Structure 1
């Protein structure tokens, strides 16, 4: 995980030690969310096979949710007085997601890979939600809302595996 740089606002929202813990949890999830958006775009560009168009368009919907969510998480980190780190080097070093293959990927494999990546991010968000419960209800609520949106996308993606 990257080292966070903090600023001293005149009016801190949380205690210093709580701020550090909350922003570290949020940063871990920010890294995964940025990587998920990139992974989804790679899948979007290179999916081939039956139902190509519907999967291609569905991936754009997921990307929009993930990008909006990552922006909200980053802005929450900054609201708490710590810099958010979305640099490529940080994402490459710290993301917990599996790499996405180069080249064209058939729709069935794309669906499986996307579902697996969504599930991994959701598990990370749910773990963070549990940890944030005692620390910061606002950050917890932010991740609850995002997790709910991603869980709906996961349902819609994995329903295509049946």
Structure 2
């Protein structure tokens, strides 16, 4: 690295850039997953969910750009390629194809659980190094949690139980939510 933000050491910045690169790949994967769902959701309530997904796609694409620009600001080189997504991925590829609204939302619930949990881990690491990056991640998490709530509202019954409760995989969540 030839430079970093004033007050940050190169060692700390490299660690932070590593975390941000993983989040960049996660955001790129998330917006592709959301678009996949948008194209493949069918059945009752199709149009409402189809239209609910697009703002989520746009927001996550914007967050990918914000993270990439933060990496560059700190002297790193963001990698937004498909190969980077594969390299940085610690999660499985989205497994549901053409399916019902409820099936996709059941699976998407688990996607958001994993994504938000990982983002909270990134908040903790950034908080030890750089409050600016930490703040960026916190703001993103608030919006992601709101979208997660939108998804869960479709899965919840009047008693507050989720149709996909107890599932561990997207395929199982989709099947149980149908």
TM-score (normalizing by structure 2): 0.83
- Secondary structure at the residue paired with 1:56? helix
Whether contact under 8 Å (2:96, 2:104) holds in the other structure is no
TM-score (normalizing by structure 1): 0.90
Work out which structure has the larger RCO, using CA pairs closer than 8 Å and 6 or more positions apart in sequence: 1
Deviates more, 1:101-110 or 1:30-39: 101-110
1:114 corresponds, among 97, 103, 108, to 108
Tell me the residue number matched to 2:123. 129
- Secondary structure at the residue paired with 2:128? coil
Deviation at 1:102, TM superposition (A): 6.0
Whether contact under 8 Å (2:13, 2:74) holds in the other structure is yes
Which structure 2 residues correspond to residues 33-44 of structure 1 after superposition, within 5 A? 33-44=27-38
Tell me the residue number matched to 1:141. 135
Unpaired stretches in structure 2, ≥5 consecutive residues: 157-178
Cα-to-partner distance string for 1:100-144 (whole Å, 9 max, x where unaligned): 236412111110121211121111110010111120000000000
1:56 corresponds, among 50, 55, 72, to 50
Mapped to 2, the partners of 1:139 and 1:27 lie a distance apart of 12
Deviates more, 1:21-30 or 1:97-106: 97-106
Cα-to-partner distance string for 1:34-77 (whole Å, 9 max, x where unaligned): 00000000110010011000110111011111111111011100
Mapped to 1, the partners of 2:44 and 2:63 lie a distance apart of 30
Cα-to-partner distance string for 1:77-120 (whole Å, 9 max, x where unaligned): 00000000111111123223332236412111110121211121
Mapped to 2, the partners of 1:12 and 1:101 lie a distance apart of 40
Whether contact under 8 Å (1:39, 1:100) holds in the other structure is yes
Tell me the residue number matched to 1:67. 61
Q: Count residues with an aligned counterpart.
A: 155
- Secondary structure at the residue paired with 2:129? coil
Whether contact under 8 Å (2:5, 2:73) holds in the other structure is no
Correspondence 1:155 to 2:149: yes
Q: Which runs of 4+ in 1 moved over 6 A?
A: none
- Which is higher, the Rg of structure 1 or of structure 2? 2
